[in-house]
Structure 1
Amino acid sequence: MTTSVDVVVIGGGQAGLAAGYYLRRAGHRFVILDDQPTAGGAWPHTWPSLRLFSPAEYASLPGWPMPRWRDGFPPAQHVVDYLTAYETRYDLPIERPVRVNTVRRDGRALVVEAGTRQWRARRVISATGTWQRPFRPTYPGARIFTGRQLHTVDYRTPADFAGADVVVVGGGNSAAQLVAEISTTASTTWVTSRPPRFLPDGVDGRALFELASRRAAALATGQRDPGGIAALGDIVMVPEVLAARDRGAMTALPMFERLTRDGVAWGDLSRHADIVLWATGFRPALGHLTPLRLRDHTGTVPVSGARALKEPRLHLLGYGDWTGPGSATILGVGRSAKSAVAELDLDD
């Protein structure tokens, strides 16, 4: 079965909903295809205690502020509830679960294929995020390590690690929150590729977004690069991290050189580990775009704004700063979605 529309949005998480909001306002015929059984994008799959790094009012999609949370930093379920209500509030045409296999060219259209179904679209917005592509680095000794190797996507509760020797790898916000939690029930070693950089107490995602916005504006107008959030730090001091720091649990060691049969090692120094937890981030989930051959010699997809240079009928939304400043955040993706929809040229 083939359906014709103006625009297909692939992905029904925060980026897809932001795109849907502006597509609805512009009067386009569109559909959002989401491979999840329920609303919320990746958020239902995160660990329950995960918190946003900004107060709710600074983590909103366009048109409707996220309801406030009592202590300012909402948990994952609050975000899921908000995204669920958001798609209902704006009556967004979402079909789920629909797993898109490929996007291919067919004359003046792009054809989106999902099993036996097809959608012919004049434009496609890919908003599939990164959660489905966890990045696990390759380190010497990984094959001989007899313990468990997990990733952020596998984590649910610190009780699962009770009594174990755990090594947490990664220097970002997720790693810091995991160390803070797991260290309450397990012997925890934190390792990072460079010393962790904590933001000053009281500085949260609002400041990070404002800095990123000012930097983007300066670069867009040819001004000198004022520097971004790197000047402040990387890790937001949410209450759990603050508490862990105060009890001395937030000290990191340099990245280990190799895994051993029963742990990790730096030169002649070793440490026992039952579990290595890789909090090492994600990569864009772009396998459905393979037939379009979008990557350049560096392996990346070159874009102008959010538009793919090798296929101008395609926009990529919400994958990180390379598709718009702050576009991987709930607040930041709204601006990128507005620009992407405004750039849709449906006259051809």
Structure 2
Amino acid sequence: MDILDSIVIGAGQAGLSSSYHLRRLGIPHLVLDADDAPGGAWQHRWDALTMQDVHGVAELPGSVPPPRTTAQANRAVSSYFAEYEREHELPVLRPVHVDRVTDEDGVLLVHATEGEWRTRTLVNATGTWTQPFLPHYPGMETFLGEQFHTVDYPGPEHFRGKRVLVVGGGASAVQFLGALAPITDVVWATRRPPVWRTDDFTPEAGAAAVALVEQRVAQGLAPQSVVSVTGLMLRPQEQEAARLGVYDARRPMFERIEPDGVRWADGSFERVDAILWATGFRPAIGHLAPLHLRSELGGIQLDHGGRGTTAVKDPRIQLVGYGPSASTIGANRAGRTAARGVRQFLTRSRVSADAV
């Protein structure tokens, strides 16, 4: 079995950026993608989400992203990614479902349902979409209505005429409320009071937010999303929901779920027909468990004070779309950093081999 110089797992924004930069550096590699078609997580988003609704899609290196129109985001971004793969002749193989990565006498062995590959380095670009976080509350299994997570949100029209409980304090919850409040009855619950941003989100403010996430990663803590530290802002499409008072009527979390609603801590009851869990995602890194990259604090520590992409415990591994690079802009930058990290490791390895 041949040994590749590098393998990229995942062909979303971070994976494609990494492959582009690896190709520019002349590093032979392969991209393994679990999806049947190009598009990363974007292809799985709800049809009602348009390019005007998304928070932004940064251009992949050497390209122009789709315009912010009323086009469906899942189709527009998927087409963009597909054309990018063709234009730059990126070596993407799909579908490949990676189960685990192990070490075999100093060489990384990537195990998948579809086969095995050996590689000197690995760029992990698996994102978070496949790891939705769903908290457990007493009685949730008894609820007779519908329950959805962001990952399987069917779009606002599905909820018309239903009383919907939206759970979560992030950008997705704000967006769902903005779409649902004008057409149906909604209730909003969060664990903590939402933090609203009242000033402009300048580049300096963005850098400060990313720095907070970097601090956690540098310590080996599990990363928080960049959005979680920027604060919430309302966009024009959410102003009608704001006028209706939805964002001012937020309630603290309920104590338990009952068959036809939720029970609050004060004993009062709220009837709801559906619960929409906008409770976020976790990094999809379970396949890396055999490499023991996690610190005792629960996260994977990265180099350069959390600003790099190299795993401190194993310099063969690059993580992109993880922690501070979990955004489209951050993923692009991380792809370049990861490719350089791969080159640095390969160069050092070959120098060591020659010395011997």
TM-score above 0.5: yes
Which residue of structure 1 lines up, in the alignment, with residue 117 of structure 2?
Answer: 119
Q: Summarize the Cα distance change of 1:207–1:148 in structure 2 as closer, same or farther, 3 Å threshold.
A: farther
Any idea what the Cα deviations from partners look like across 1:136-175, whole Å, max 9, x if unmatched? 0111222333322221111122121122121000111111
Q: Summarize the Cα distance change of 1:238–1:339 in structure 2 as closer, same or farther, 3 Å threshold.
A: same
8 Å Cα contact 1:151-1:279 kept in structure 2: yes
Q: Summarize the Cα distance change of 1:78–1:250 in structure 2 as closer, same or farther, 3 Å threshold.
A: farther
8 Å Cα contact 1:134-1:283 kept in structure 2: yes
Displacement, 1:208?
Answer: 5.6
8 Å Cα contact 2:18-2:335 kept in structure 1: yes
Which residue of structure 2 lines up, in the alignment, with residue 278 of structure 1?
Answer: 277
Query: 1:169, 1:190 → 2: CA distance?
Result: 6
Q: Which of 311, 314, 320 is the aligned partner of 1:311?
A: 314
Determine helix, strand or coil for the equivalent of 1:346.
helix
Q: Summarize the Cα distance change of 1:6–1:230 in structure 2 as closer, same or farther, 3 Å threshold.
A: closer
Query: 2:165, 2:228 → 1: CA distance?
Result: 28
8 Å Cα contact 2:123-2:317 kept in structure 1: yes
Determine helix, strand or coil for the equivalent of 1:6.
strand
Displacement, 1:281?
Answer: 0.2
Which portions of structure 1, spanning 4 or more consecutive aligned residues, are displaced by more than 6 angstroms? 214-219, 228-232
Q: Which amino acid aligns with 1:181?
A: A
Any idea what the Cα deviations from partners look like across 1:266-288, whole Å, max 9, x if unmatched? 22121011211110000111121
Higher mean C-alpha displacement, 192-201 vs 297-306: 192-201
TM-score, reference length from structure 1: 0.85
Kindly tell me the number of residue pairs found equivalent between the two proteins: 330
Aligned pairs (5 A) from 1:7-156: 7-50=6-49, 51-54=53-56, 59-70=58-69, 75-115=73-113, 117-156=115-154
Any idea what the Cα deviations from partners look like across 1:228-280, whole Å, max 9, x if unmatched? 98899522322221232123333311222222232112221210112111100
Which residue of structure 2 lines up, in the alignment, with residue 225 of structure 1?
Answer: none
Q: Summarize the Cα distance change of 1:120–1:229 in structure 2 as closer, same or farther, 3 Å threshold.
A: closer
Higher mean C-alpha displacement, 103-112 vs 7-16: 103-112
Query: 2:141, 2:260 → 1: CA distance?
Result: 11
Aligned pairs (5 A) from 1:163-174: 163-174=161-172
Q: Which of 333, 340, 344 is the aligned partner of 1:335?
A: 333
Q: Which amino acid aligns with 1:12?
A: A
8 Å Cα contact 2:318-2:341 kept in structure 1: no
Q: Which amino acid aligns with 2:240?
A: A
Q: Which amino acid aligns with 1:132?
A: T
Q: State the superposition RMSD in angstroms.
A: 2.9
Any idea what the Cα deviations from partners look like across 1:72-120, whole Å, max 9, x if unmatched? x994433323222222221111001111111110112101121252211
Which residue of structure 2 lines up, in the alignment, with residue 192 of structure 1?
Answer: 190
Q: Summarize the Cα distance change of 1:182–1:216 in structure 2 as closer, same or farther, 3 Å threshold.
A: closer
Structure 1, unaligned stretches of length 5 or more?
A: 220-227, 322-326
Query: 1:144, 1:216 → 2: CA distance?
Result: 37
Q: Summarize the Cα distance change of 1:150–1:232 in structure 2 as closer, same or farther, 3 Å threshold.
A: closer
Query: 2:155, 2:328 → 1: CA distance?
Result: 24
Query: 1:207, 1:186 → 2: CA distance?
Result: 38
Q: Summarize the Cα distance change of 1:75–1:209 in structure 2 as closer, same or farther, 3 Å threshold.
A: farther
Which residue of structure 1 lines up, in the alignment, with residue 292 of structure 2?
Answer: 293
Determine helix, strand or coil for the equivalent of 1:79.
helix
Q: Which of 231, 235, 252 is the aligned partner of 2:232?
A: 235
Identical pairs, percent:
39
Q: Summarize the Cα distance change of 1:75–1:190 in structure 2 as closer, same or farther, 3 Å threshold.
A: same
Q: Summarize the Cα distance change of 1:111–1:233 in structure 2 as closer, same or farther, 3 Å threshold.
A: closer
Any idea what the Cα deviations from partners look like across 1:208-241, whole Å, max 9, x if unmatched? 644446778999xxxxxxxx98899522322221
Determine helix, strand or coil for the equivalent of 2:137.
coil
8 Å Cα contact 2:293-2:311 kept in structure 1: yes
Q: Summarize the Cα distance change of 1:332–1:61 in structure 2 as closer, same or farther, 3 Å threshold.
A: same
Which residue of structure 1 lines up, in the alignment, with residue 219 of structure 2?
Answer: none
More helix, by proportion: 2
TM-score, reference length from structure 2: 0.84
8 Å Cα contact 2:39-2:81 kept in structure 1: yes
Q: Summarize the Cα distance change of 1:39–1:292 in structure 2 as closer, same or farther, 3 Å threshold.
A: same
Query: 2:296, 2:188 → 1: CA distance?
Result: 35
Query: 1:83, 1:204 → 2: CA distance?
Result: 28
Displacement, 1:22?
Answer: 0.8
Higher mean C-alpha displacement, 271-280 vs 290-299: 290-299
8 Å Cα contact 1:52-1:74 kept in structure 2: no
Query: 2:69, 2:155 → 1: CA distance?
Result: 22
Q: Summarize the Cα distance change of 1:270–1:207 in structure 2 as closer, same or farther, 3 Å threshold.
A: farther
